[in-house]
Structure 1
Amino acid sequence: MDERNQKPLVDEVIQKEWKMFDKVNSLGGRASCQDNFPVFYVMRYSQFSVWDKDVLESYYADLLKAGSQGMNIIEQKYAYMMRETSPDYYEKYLREFLPGITEEKKCLAEQIMEIVMGFYSEAEKMYPGIAARGRGGSRRESISGETSVDVYQRGELLTYSSATLKLYYAMVKRKKDTGQNMVLDIYARTAECCGYDGLEAAEKAARKRKEFYQ
């Protein structure tokens, strides 16, 4: 993927997500991260800039469709996350207001999760300092208090259309089959955006600082 050629589309995706993120109503009131666009941009750019073009275009179409229907899929992502973090609240207050999850989407999401969590496990072993400053790996709270990677990732995947999920699965499967680790690619792009000269420098800094993004 040519990052330079895709940057305009990546930026469009991020802007549409930011508008939705800004309108998310959380139980504890407005979160501080909702007023920090620079960090939001780095986090999302680091992810989207390593995606295949067809996946990015499909997700952009998802955002456009959601917007035209008055839906906030970023808010839906956090609601889906609460299926695991607060199941009683989810069942009582959220489930009936969310789009139904088809068996096809569930299956695709879990196939993707199996590969992505494998990427994450490998990346965590190679760069534990960077990994420790982000979300915890599997169904646990990280030291930063963020929801675990698997809960967050699954919640996000469930907001994608079936078309996007199929393309996403094809992307991560190809990367796995060719020995690529998408999580390491995201780490590398994040390190670059934060001004570090490669992952080794970012790892060294992460072990010294409380937050990777300081």
Structure 2
Amino acid sequence: METNHNREELIHDVIERELAMFLNTKNMGGTASCQENPDMFRRWRWMIFSVLSDEYIGSYNDDLIEAERVGRNFMTEKYARMDDLIPCVSPNMDKVRKITATERVWMQELLQEFPLLFPQSLARFDMYFPAEMETLSERSLDLYQECVDSALSRGENLARKRYSNFYARMGLGTLEELEARRREKLHQS
């Protein structure tokens, strides 16, 4: 029980550090609409961390603390990378590509299994995910890879698990139930 409490506190600390960076990210067109909804930011980021190891989350927290110390803003870097405004910031692009390839397969499986719940393409993932991975330290990349390898060895899809956790936490039901509701709504139209 104590471990879960400490884990949730650590996730909370990481998200609050990220949120401070996110809210300080300057956008070309002014404040982005997503910056006006910090609660949704917290929910989405919790979803990401909900399937990752305590070791990874702790290492990433260390990355955030170090970034704060030296004046880096991971969110600014991530969005600048997405728009190809700055050069790569990763210490190891081979690891970034390897992790991204597996996560992309998992997202593709999720989109195929639940096409009504996830009607989007992989274009956003292809832009967003590698840019996020590029901000990680070498140690955090290694620990993220361990999370991926562990999931693969158990036959798990971390993307599916993330969204299952998210919708359960929101009280919306399972992925299967949500897909069925969308299918039913589609047939009623």
Q: TM-score, normalized by length of structure 2?
A: 0.89
Q: C-alpha distance in 2, partners of 1:81/1:3? A: 34
Residue 144 of structure 2 aligns to a residue whose secondary structure is: helix
Return the alpha-carbon distance in structure 2 between the equivalents of residues 151 and 59 of structure 1.
21
Deviation string 1:47-97 (CA, Å, 9 cap, x unpaired) is 1111111111110000000001111111101111122xxxxxx2xxx34xx
Aligned-pair distance for 1:28? 1.6
Q: How many residues are matched?
A: 183
Name the residue aligned to 1:107.
94
Identity in percent: 28
Contact 1:78 / 1:155 at 8 angstroms: preserved in 2? yes
For the 8 Å contact 1:192–1:198, the answer to whether it is kept is yes
> Which residue identity lines up with residue 15 of structure 1 in the other structure?
E
Q: Which residue of 171, 176, 179 corresponds with 1:200?
A: 176
| Cα contact 2:48–2:162 (8 A) shared by 1 | yes
Displacement of 1:165 after TM fit? 0.4
Distance across 2 between alignment mates of 1:154 and 1:4: 30
Structure 2 matches for 1:36-185, cutoff 5 A?
36-83=37-84, 90=85, 94-95=86-87, 100-102=89-91, 105-132=92-119, 136-137=121-122, 140=123, 148-185=124-161
Aligned CA distance change for structure 1 residues 32 and 205 (closer, same or farther; 3 Å): farther
- In structure 1, C-alpha distance between the alignment counterparts of 2:4 and 2:101, rounded to whole Å: 26
> Normalising by the residue count of structure 1, what TM-score does the alignment of the two structures yield?
0.79
Go from structure 1 to structure 2 and tell me whether the alpha carbon gap of 1:206 and 1:80 turns closer, same or farther (over 3 Å shift). Answer: farther
Matched residue type, 1:50: V
- 1:27, 1:204 → 2: CA distance? 40
Query: Which amino acid in the other structure matches residue 121 of structure 2?
Result: G
Name whichever of 19-28 and 169-178 sits farther off. Answer: 169-178
Match of 2:18 in 1: 17
Task: Note if contact 2:89-2:135 (Cα within 8 Å) is conserved in structure 1.
Answer: no
Aligned pair 1:26/2:27, yes or no? Answer: yes
The unaligned stretches of length 5 or more in structure 1 are 84-89, 141-147, 210-214
Deviation at residue 205 of structure 1 after TM alignment: 4.8
Give 1:3 deviation, angstroms: 4.8
Which SS does the other structure have where 1:71 is aligned?
A: coil
Paired with 1:202 and 1:158, the residues of 2 have a C-alpha distance of 33
| Cα drift, residue 129 of structure 1 | 2.2
Q: CA deviation at 1:206?
A: 5.4
Rate the CA distance shift 1:205–1:121 in 2: closer, same or farther, 3 A: same
Alpha-carbon offset, residue 127 of structure 1: 1.4
User: 1:124 Cα shift?
Assistant: 1.2
Once the two structures are TM-superposed, the CA of residue 194 in structure 1 deviates from its matched residue by 2.1
> What value does the CA root-mean-square deviation take over the aligned residues?
1.9
Residue 101 of structure 1 and its aligned partner are, at CA, apart by 3.6
Gaps of 5+ in 2: none
